[in-house]
Amino acid sequence: MGLLSIIRKQKLREKEVRVLMLGLDNSGKTTIVRSLLHKDIQEISPTMGFNIDTISYKGFNINVWDIGGQSSLRTFWFNYFERTDFLVWVLDASSLQRLVENFKEFDKVLREDRLAGCGLLILINKIDIYDGDRQKLKEAITDTLRLKELQNHSWNLLCCSAYTGENLQDGLDWLVSEYEKKYYIL
Amino acid sequence: MDDESGISKISDILLQEIDHSLTIILRERQDYANLSETAEYETFKKAIEQFQPSPQLLDSKLRDFLERVIRSYIKNCLYEDQDDALDTRISCVFYQFAKVRGTKTVSNCLPSDISLISIVLKRGSEQRSWESRFFLFVWLSVLILAPFPLAKIDLHLPDKIYNVAFEYLKTGSKETDAASVLMARFLSRVDSRDYRDLFISEYFNSLAWEHESNVFAKIGILSTINRMLKILTLEQLRNHLDRILTLISNEINDDSQQAPSSILRFFIKILGKLSLFFMRLEQYGNIEDIVSNLLKFLSHNDTVIRYSTAKQLSKIGLHLDSDSRQDILESLVNLLDISFMFDEGDEFQADLHLDPETIDIVSFHGVLLTLGEFCRLRLMSKKWITITGSICHRTLFVEQHRLTYSAGSNVRDASCFDCWSIFKKYRDAEIPPGVIVTLFKDLILVSCFDGDLMIRRAASATLQELIGRHGDLLFRQLSVPSQYISMFKVKLIEILDYTALGHITKSYQLPSQIYRRLNGLMHQEFVDFLLSSGIRNYNYSLRKLSSQALKEMVSISSDYDAENVIMKLRGEYKLCKEDGILNAIADLLSLLPERSVDSTQYHAMISNFTFDFHNDEFSKGEEYLHLLKELVARLGFQLNSNELDTVFNIIRTNREEITDEFKELSKYLKDIPLKYAERWIYYVKNGNLASAKALGYSPVMRERSQEVLELLSDIRLDANLRSSLIDSVSIFLQRDGYLNKTFIQGKLKLIEQLDDYTVTNKGDVGSFIRISSIDMIFENRDFFSSEDDRQAIEMRLLRLSCEVMDNVKLRSFSLLRSLEHWGSQVEDVTQSELLHNPQKYFGILLKLYDNENLCLESSKEFWKGYSFSGGSSQAVDKTINAAVYAFLRNWQVLTNEKKCAMLRIIFSLLGKGPLMKDKGSKGIRYNKMQTSCLRFVCNLIELNLEIPPEFELESLFVRTYNMTLGSSNYLRLTIAVRILTNLYLRDPKKFHGCKKRLQWLGEKHPLTKVKARAFEALQEIEFESQE
């Protein structure tokens, strides 16, 4: 029995969830995390860097790895101690012209073997300043990202606003329930 | 891809497979057949075993699967007795689920129909297979949880359950685990109080324990107690806690015998659970005893025991007040036997005295694991984080050298775990900035330089936590301007990539990347580490990598002057001649401008160097040679006699590394005193490979070329040595040796090396010489450019290109193609194509033969080589078939005139050769060639080779006949018999002499085996004639 298998078992027992927060630059990833942590969201400069924060929610410790939109992502998928449970892909509802760019990046990320089986939460951020038909927007994004063709990934698509906090909790609820569904049915 | 990711990707498909298999195994379909059930069970087992890395992925279907298992069992087995095989198979299915997902979890999916208790119990007690008992006991353990008095169902039911569970607790078989679950659940019932008292008082006392010699029984009892402590209440256990503690304490403290790990594991788990009960009872004395007992196990040899103890201690710590927790932590650190100043705990203690070579590795591992667990549970104060940090600062680099390996990677791994836990669980304000900075630097060094891949990866994962959670604070402490902090974070994580760390060579190159991409971050630390420990590492490869890394780090910055670093190392070498220093000096010397330093000081430095080739490690000699090479190359260093003696002493060590360094040194050695030139040749004559291989770079070759040429013909010398000498000649020729008179006059002798077929008990060692000769000619085509040379070479290459050994024939063919005129004749095919398609290869050769008007001698050489491929007993069938079929295919397009000419040449090889009288290797080779040729011809005529009518086939009869005269070579005679038979059957009148010869062989040949073959041939002739 190695140290790693022990740590992984404990991770399960202690409800530690690892989430990678990804998306194009300026999609609002850091604002979402700060909003969830009830931190000040008024002045956030672009995240070129990388931050880890832990959100405690419904008895789970959700470790969010917020990775700047312009980083090379490969090195973050996996590490010695733990693997990724969820990808949260953040889109900017006010920047829909970048949808194709989003798809290219998204597709590239999902080809990574080490992400096989992880859950996917797609958040359409800045919905508070979007005045179109939300349902149609969701359908368009579902088609563009070819979500229905995904295999081995459970997924969910939510409109949200880091600014108003709308639907952020629903996102967390989905993560937690998916995790429970996967690991704590019995 | 790791196992977990792998299973995630295919889990849905596997679940479908399991679903399908169950329909057959559980007889849910009407068209079942016994055979397919057995096969299907194997499919099911294969599928479910793949869930081992992530068994939770079964959960979405587990309940459904197990309900079906139960349904099928009730329908087909529970009330029937006919089908034992099905019973066992269904039980096996259940066992597989329990094995992968855990007994407790699967038991939660079982139905609790109270009416089934009696029948399940009855069946469980009667079953012969352990799989069935396992299944039924687990099921029964669920059924008996029903909230009704069991005695009301059947007065004797409690007795029966107790007895059956107890019986199988002791077997040590796989159903013991199920029996233990059953017993624990039974004893947890309100109406089982008497049984509970009985179980503990009767079996858990010192006397009973001493008398119980069966380890399996003890494990069964302990596992039941452990389970009971999980599910029973304090009230139910209150009267038994002291008894359990006393027994375990006595057992642990009994010095006369050490319990096996399987028992200790339960002792530890039980002690952990007991302590929580004692805490509720406020019996702190007992807790203290438990902690003292547990501390002892931190130095147990078994990792599982150490980790189990660490977990229990931290669990106890979680429930204690901070003062008591501190006591435990102090006891832990005291176990390390390091002089730690607790009073100065708030201060980071960077220079903690700890000698890696003498520490108790297992104790350190145990203690570090426990500290890590305390960190993970956030049980550390700031002071204790500092203390843990101070310890990790040293233990991250612990390595203890044993005779053939080094220990301590578990200590380094646990140290990474401690750091990871600290950075993950504590906020910026809770960790002293000094600890963050120091551990950051340590972890970077470990990521780049640890010899163990897993430790490098562990350190980099720890750095991810550190940078992700405390990056801003860290880089501020390191005075990185705030606008660059984000860039530093990302770049650093990118550089310490999981894949890059996987290659030790790449990971040693990371410091220069960090320097270049992150404004010289940690430059001094890297250089200091490499100087103080990297270049002197115990591990030879790491020493060399460190030395290269040091050179790189010194060269990329103006902060360091190579000469100063060398001077420092020279001073250290003077004090202590540690392995690796000379190598580092040598590498750094290459950074100095040529002849910039007075070389005389180096004579003094190495004047005391000695090398005992019997006892010293080769690496000691290697680095000495490496240093001399750099000194000679960079500083024009002149080797004195002492140094030359040492060099000749070192090269007696037969290692490739030594040879390579000696070759490098030889390139720069200009004037070699006569005494050493003679010694060099003396070494060569006595079989020293390093001196033979390096000779080509040395002026000694020029002076002694005649001797070298003679040595090449000396068949007493080892073939490998002669091959090395040819390599050396090749190098010498390339290095302006084309004017050397000896070699100009001795060219033919050099070319004749292509004819070396020395055979020893190691096989065709002459092939080394032939290969070296081919390479030599290839590299020096201009030297062998006269018409005579060309003819002599081509003739031989035609033979070599047709031979059996792939590496000889393909090299030879390449050389042939590279020669003027031949290149245009050969179609453009790759080496790999030639290698994998021998028939095509032989086809090309035959085409070449047809297109060229070869002289008789060259043609003969060609067919000599071809005969080996088409008929040698050494050739594999694939080669023989390829050569023969290619010949037959080519035969179809030839004119009769050409066919006759070709046959005449081939048959001429069967005649008495000019070298037949030679009893040496050439004679033997000629004989072999003839036998191969005979076999080749035999293969052809047996495949009905169409012979032109005008050809005098009698010549084959005569040749074959002659080859049987006076021969006792069984192989040759067998082939001759086959040819004689074939010829006779072709034309009995013309070849009546064949039959006569066969009759003579059958009657008069001295070898019985030959007689028998000839007799068989005559029978065949008789049979065919009657037809």
pLDDT number for residue A1: 41
Inform me whether the pLDDT recorded for B825 exceeds 70: no
Mean pLDDT in residue range B230-259: 86
Cβ A75–B498 below 8 Å, yes or no?
yes
pLDDT number for residue B555: 92
Q: Are residues B906 and B960 in the same domain?
A: no
**Closest-CA residue to B513 (of B548, B481, B556):** B556
Q: Are residues B853 and B993 in the same domain?
A: no
- The DSSP-derived string for B381-430 is -HHHHHHHHHHHHHHTT--EE-SSSEE-HHHHHHHHHHHHHHHHHS-GGG
**Proportion of chain B above pLDDT 90, given as a percent:** 52
The answer to whether the CB of B398 falls within 8 A of the CB of B408 is yes
The whole-angstrom separation of Cα B690 and Cα B213 is 64
**Is A150 near chain B, with CB under 8 Å?**
no
Active-site position among A70, A97, A135, A151: A70
Rounded to a whole number of angstroms, the distance from the CA of B302 to the nearest CA of chain A is 10
Of the listed ranges B136-150, B479-493, B528-542, B916-930, the one predicted with least confidence: B916-930
* Residue B932 belongs to some domain of the structure: yes
Tell me if A28 is assigned to a ligand binding site.
yes
Question: Which residues of chain A neighbour B424 with C-beta distances below 8 Å?
Answer: 63
Cβ B2–A71 below 8 Å, yes or no?
no
Cβ B8–A116 below 8 Å, yes or no?
yes
- Give the DSSP letter of residue B786: S
Q: Are residues B8 and B80 in the same domain?
A: yes
Q: Which residue of B has its CA nearest to A77?
A: B498
Tell me if A161 is assigned to a ligand binding site.
no
Cβ B496–A48 below 8 Å, yes or no?
no
Q: Are residues B921 and B941 in the same domain?
A: yes
Q: Are residues B442 and B456 in the same domain?
A: yes
Tell me if A30 is assigned to a ligand binding site.
yes
What CATH fold (topology level) applies to the domain A3-183? Rossmann fold (3.40.50)
Q: Are residues B401 and B529 in the same domain?
A: no
Q: CB contacts < 8 Å between A and B, how many?
A: 123
Q: Which of B9, B454, B460 sits opposite A117 (nearest CB)?
A: B9
Would you call B557 helix, strand, or coil by DSSP?
coil
pLDDT number for residue B433: 93
Q: For A110-143, what is each residue's pLDDT tens digit? A: 777 667 778 889 999 888 888 888 888 888 888 8
Q: Which of A3, A50, A117 sits opposite B493 (nearest CB)?
A: A50
The answer to whether the CB of A53 falls within 8 A of the CB of A37 is yes
**Is A152 near chain B, with CB under 8 Å?**
yes
Helices (H), B1-78: 3-25, 34-49, 59-73
Show which of B521, B553, B575 is a domain's final residue.
Answer: B521
pLDDT number for residue A174: 93
Split into its structural domains, chain B has a count of: 5
* Residue B317 belongs to some domain of the structure: no
Tell me if A119 is assigned to a ligand binding site.
no
Rounded to a whole number of angstroms, the distance from the CA of B57 to the nearest CA of chain A is 6
* Residue B716 belongs to some domain of the structure: no
Going by pLDDT thresholds of 50, 70 and 90, the confidence category of residue B720 is very high
The whole-angstrom separation of Cα B639 and Cα B661 is 15
Please give the distance of CA B375 from its chain centroid, rounded to a whole number: 36
Contacts of B129 (CB under 8 A, 6+ apart): B84, B87, B88, B91
Q: Are residues B563 and B629 in the same domain?
A: yes
Q: Which of A83, A113, A186 sits opposite B108 (nearest CB)?
A: A186
Q: Which of A6, A68, A182 sits opposite B56 (nearest CB)?
A: A182
Optimal mutation site among B3, B8, B105, B428, interface A, most CBs of chain A within 10 A: B8
- Taken in order B790, B792, B798, B803, the sign of the CA dihedral is negative
Q: Which residue of A has its CA nearest to B412?
A: A3
Would you call B60 helix, strand, or coil by DSSP?
helix
Optimal mutation site among A3, A56, A109, interface B, most CBs of chain B within 10 A: A3
Cβ A116–B303 below 8 Å, yes or no?
no
Which residues of chain A fall short of a pLDDT of 70? 1-13, 43-48, 69-82, 113-114, 183-186
Rounded to a whole number of angstroms, the distance from the CA of A37 to the nearest CA of chain B is 14
Q: Which residue of B has its CA nearest to A53?
A: B469
More confident residue, B899 or B345: B899
The answer to whether the CB of B453 falls within 8 A of the CB of B461 is no
Tell me if A125 is assigned to a ligand binding site.
yes
Q: Which of A6, A75, A115 sits opposite B494 (nearest CB)?
A: A75
Inform me whether the pLDDT recorded for B595 exceeds 80: no
Question: Which residues of chain A neighbour B6 with C-beta distances below 8 Å?
Answer: 116
Q: Which of A49, A74, A185 sits opposite B489 (nearest CB)?
A: A49
Amino acid at B168: Y
Rounded to a whole number of angstroms, the distance from the CA of B194 to the nearest CA of chain A is 32
The whole-angstrom separation of Cα B484 and Cα B479 is 10
- Give the DSSP letter of residue A56: E
Q: Are residues B394 and B543 in the same domain?
A: no
Show which of B84, B100, B116 is a domain's final residue.
Answer: B100
Mean pLDDT in residue range B356-363: 91
**Closest-CA residue to B628 (of B620, B617, B618, B639):** B639
Rounded to a whole number of angstroms, the distance from the CA of A98 to the nearest CA of chain B is 24
pLDDT number for residue B857: 87
pLDDT number for residue B448: 96
Rounded to a whole number of angstroms, the distance from the CA of A138 to the nearest CA of chain B is 26
Q: Which residue of B has its CA nearest to A68?
A: B490
Q: Are residues B933 and B826 in the same domain?
A: yes
Q: Which residue of B has its CA nearest to A46?
A: B486
Q: Are residues B517 and B530 in the same domain?
A: no
Rounded to a whole number of angstroms, the distance from the CA of B145 to the nearest CA of chain A is 18
Question: Which residues of chain B neighbour A83 with C-beta distances below 8 Å?
Answer: 2, 4-5
Cβ A186–B105 below 8 Å, yes or no?
yes
- B200 CB neighbour count, 10 Å cutoff: 22
The whole-angstrom separation of Cα B379 and Cα B382 is 10
* Residue B935 belongs to some domain of the structure: yes
Cβ A152–B6 below 8 Å, yes or no?
no
Q: Which residue of A has its CA nearest to B13?
A: A152
Cβ A75–B11 below 8 Å, yes or no?
no
Mean pLDDT in residue range B689-693: 95
Inform me whether the pLDDT recorded for B823 exceeds 70: no
* Residue B134 belongs to some domain of the structure: no
Q: For B940-966, what is each residue's pLDDT tens digit? A: 998 888 989 988 889 999 999 998 888
Q: Which of B414, B458, B493 sits opposite A75 (nearest CB)?
A: B493
Inform me whether the pLDDT recorded for B2 exceeds 60: no
Cβ A113–B468 below 8 Å, yes or no?
no
Q: Which residue of B has its CA nearest to A61?
A: B425
Inform me whether the pLDDT recorded for B404 exceeds 90: no
β-sheet bridge partners, residue A90: A23, A123
Q: For B521-549, what is each residue's pLDDT tens digit? A: 999 999 999 999 999 999 999 999 999 99
Quote the tokens at residue B1024. Answer: 């065919």
Would you call A89 helix, strand, or coil by DSSP?
strand
Mean pLDDT in residue range B417-423: 95
**Proportion of chain B above pLDDT 70, given as a percent:** 96
Inform me whether the pLDDT recorded for B328 exceeds 90: yes
Show which of B893, B916, B951 is a domain's final residue.
Answer: B951
Inform me whether the pLDDT recorded for B1 exceeds 60: no
Mean pLDDT in residue range B12-38: 80
pLDDT number for residue B967: 84
Cβ B486–A181 below 8 Å, yes or no?
no
**Is A111 near chain B, with CB under 8 Å?**
no
Helices (H), A14-52: 29-36
Going by pLDDT thresholds of 50, 70 and 90, the confidence category of residue B414 is very high
Could you tell me the residue range of the domain that residue B85 belongs to?
1-100
pLDDT number for residue B256: 67
β-sheet bridge partners, residue A18: A63
The answer to whether the CB of B926 falls within 8 A of the CB of B916 is yes
**Is A3 near chain B, with CB under 8 Å?**
yes
The whole-angstrom separation of Cα B168 and Cα B121 is 13
Tell me if A26 is assigned to a ligand binding site.
yes
Question: Which residues of chain A neighbour B461 with C-beta distances below 8 Å?
Answer: 79-82
Domain boundaries, chain A: 3-183
Q: Which of A1, A50, A79 sits opposite B489 (nearest CB)?
A: A50
Mean pLDDT in residue range B921-944: 87
Per the annotation, the verdict on A70 as an active-site residue is yes
Q: Which residue of B has its CA nearest to A52?
A: B468
Going by pLDDT thresholds of 50, 70 and 90, the confidence category of residue B363 is very high
Q: Are residues B365 and B490 in the same domain?
A: yes
Q: Are residues B494 and B620 in the same domain?
A: no
Rounded to a whole number of angstroms, the distance from the CA of A131 to the nearest CA of chain B is 34
Q: For B840-885, what is each residue's pLDDT tens digit? A: 889 988 988 888 778 888 899 999 999 989 888 777 788 888 999 9
Cβ B485–A81 below 8 Å, yes or no?
no
More confident residue, B774 or B1025: B774
- Which residues 51-110 in chain A show a CB within 8 A of chain B? 51-53, 63, 65, 67-68, 71-72, 74-76, 78-83
